[in-house]
Each structure stands twice: as structure tokens, then as C-alpha cells.
Amino acid sequence: MLNLQLSAKEFNLISDLVYNKSGITLHDGKKELVKSRLSKVLRKKNIDTFREYYKILVNDSSGDEIIAMIDAISTNFTSFFREIKHFEFLKSDIFPKLKKNDLIRVWSAGCSSGEEVYTLLICFMEYFGEKSANNFRFSATDISTRVLNKAIKGIYHKDCCKKISLDLLRKYFQKGSSNFDGYYKIKGKYSKLIDFKRLNFMETFNFADKFDVIFCRNVMIYFNKETQEILVNKFWNSLKEEGWLFIGHSESLMSIQHKFKYVAPTIYQK
Ligand SMILES: C[S@@+](CC[C@H](N)C(=O)[O-])C[C@H]1O[C@@H](n2cnc3c(N)ncnc32)[C@H](O)[C@@H]1O
């Protein structure tokens, strides 16, 4: 198998392109990771050098090549009930403040393969009851079409479902059989409540309505301060008055300019 070489110059060209298109910052320490992930793309496409690949990327007017590249290099780790404190806070502090008959809009921004938005849906359903389903609108977006397709399918291996109680698994998922033995699929009546869309945070947000709750967790760590600041202010504009923004446990809005009120660690309010 051909051992592809990625020079410092080629790495810089690719990281500038990634930054300009997605806001993701790839510092020098990521060179080996980029090389290994993109080498697979090059081999699949029978491209011999990164120089050639770069030319294809910049000349691709459809944008598909760039999407495939960002798909290959982005980190999509997620899980059900990840950072459980956020879901406990929703239940204890936010749900009681939401009026049962109002239309409630929730956005999982950077949803990856869907575990976050399905967890949100389960929490809302459990608290407000299924009869209120029509009062919720869930949006879930990601830049990566690969993970988004997985989220839309809503099929997860049993190992990924370990944090979901047996009761909730039975209620919200169908157990797979034959070819899907060992997998669970979110029931159609629940997945249809979620609007999945590809959205790049660097582009304009075109939501018709504002949100009550935005989860944007474990995404901003890949962005520099300047990009984080622009994004956080776009979230501000996308929230209703008094709406909430949740960020990842290892993230902070400390060193950026924003108008949010701090509510609890990694939880902010407009
Ligand atoms: C580590 S996952 C986080 C998933 C989930 N929010 C969680 O906390 O478990 C980060 C996600 O952000 C997405 N992402 C990265 N850059 C993005 C951008 N510019 N626009 C939209 N999504 C982006 C990635 O594709 C990835 O699926």
C-alpha cells in the first residue's frame, strides 16, 4: 500500500481550507491525525498525492469534496445521556418554567449521530407526557452528512445504549432482529418529531422561529476564540427571550464577549 506523504506546506493549505470552510482549527499537533484520516479518502479516490487532492478540493464547485473531507477529519464522539447534569438541570430548573401549552423549540446544534437529540426528546416526553408531543419542535443539525444520515436512521448498537434504562429502551426503541440483532432503532413516532438538517455554523442560520433551548456541546472546542464569539452571538440571536444555551462540560464562555447570563456551570440564559 502506498505510504502517502503530507508535507508541512500541504498540511497548512489543508488546515487553512478546513478553517475557512468549517471554523475547525487544526493546529500542528493534528498533522498525523489529518494525514491518517485523509489518506483513506485519497486511496478510495485513487489520488496519489496530497497536492493533487488539494487541487481537487479547491476546484470542486459542487462543494461535495470539501464536505467529504470535513466528514473525514471531524470528531463525532457522542453518547446518550452524555454529561447527565445537563439533563438533570433541564428537569429540575427548566421544565417547570416552560408552559405546557406553548410551542417549545429545542435545537441540538452539532448533533453528530443523534444521541443528544434523542436524549433530549426522551427527557421532554418523560416530563411532559406523550400527549404534549405536538407542542415540541426538535431541530438537529450537523455539518457532517455522514453522521447526520446515521442520526436520521436512529439505529444504535446495544453497547451505545447502556446509559438508557431498560424501561426507556422498551418505550422509545424497537429491538432489532435477524440482521439487526444487537441493535435498537428509535421508534418512528418519535424520530418523526425531529427535523434533521445539514447546517454549517459558518453559514447564515435560516430558522423561521427562535428556540427555547439550544444544546451546542463539545463543538466549540474545535474553534478559535474569534469563531466561538461569532457563533455564541448567533446563538443569542436564535434564542427566545430567557432561552437557554448549554455548552460542553470542558467548554467555557469566560474569555469571549457575549451577552448571556451565567446560570450554572456550562449553562447560560438570554
Ligand atoms: C464531538 S461532536 C459533539 C456531539 C454532541 N453535541 C455531543 O456533545 O455529544 C461535534 C460535532 O460538531 C460537528 N461540527 C464541527 N464543525 C461544525 C460546523 N462548522 N458546523 C456544524 N457542525 C460542526 C461535527 O461534525 C461533530 O458531529
Catalytic position from the list 37, 51, 137, 146: 37
Q: Per residue of the chain (270 residues), give pLDDT as tens.
A: 567 899 999 999 999 999 999 999 999 999 999 999 999 999 999 999 999 999 999 999 988 999 999 999 988 999 999 999 999 999 999 999 997 778 999 999 999 999 999 999 999 999 999 999 999 999 999 999 999 999 999 999 999 999 999 999 999 999 999 999 999 999 999 999 999 999 999 999 999 999 999 999 999 999 999 999 999 999 999 999 999 999 999 999 999 999 999 999 999 999
Pairing state between β 267-269 and 239-247: antiparallel
Is 2 within the bounds of a domain? no
User: Do residues 112 and 219 both lie within one domain?
Assistant: yes
- Does the C-beta of 116 come closer than 6 Å to ligand 1? yes
Q: How many other CB atoms are found less than 10 A from the CB of residue 132? A: 14
On whether both 141 and 258 belong to a single domain, the answer is: yes
Residue 118 lies in a domain: yes
The protein residue whose alpha carbon is closest to atom 10 in ligand 1 is: 219
CATH code at position 61: 1.10.155.10
Q: Active-site residue 212, yes or no?
A: no
The distance between the two most distant Cα atoms of the chain, rounded to a whole number of Å, is 61
* 95, 127: one domain: yes
* C-alpha to C-alpha distance for 171 and 58, rounded to whole angstroms: 48
- Shared domain for 172 and 247, answered yes or no, is yes
- In a shared domain, residues 53 and 186: no
> Can you read off the three cell numbers belonging to residue 42?
485519497
pTM, two decimals, is: 0.95
Annotated active-site residue in 71, 105, 142, 217: 142
* Pocket mutation for ligand 1, best pick of 17, 22, 143 (most atoms within 8 Å of C-beta): 143
Domain that holds residue 35: 8-73
**Could you tell me if residue 216 is inside a domain?**
yes
Q: Helix, strand or coil for residue 1? A: coil
1 vs 120: CA distance, rounded Å: 44
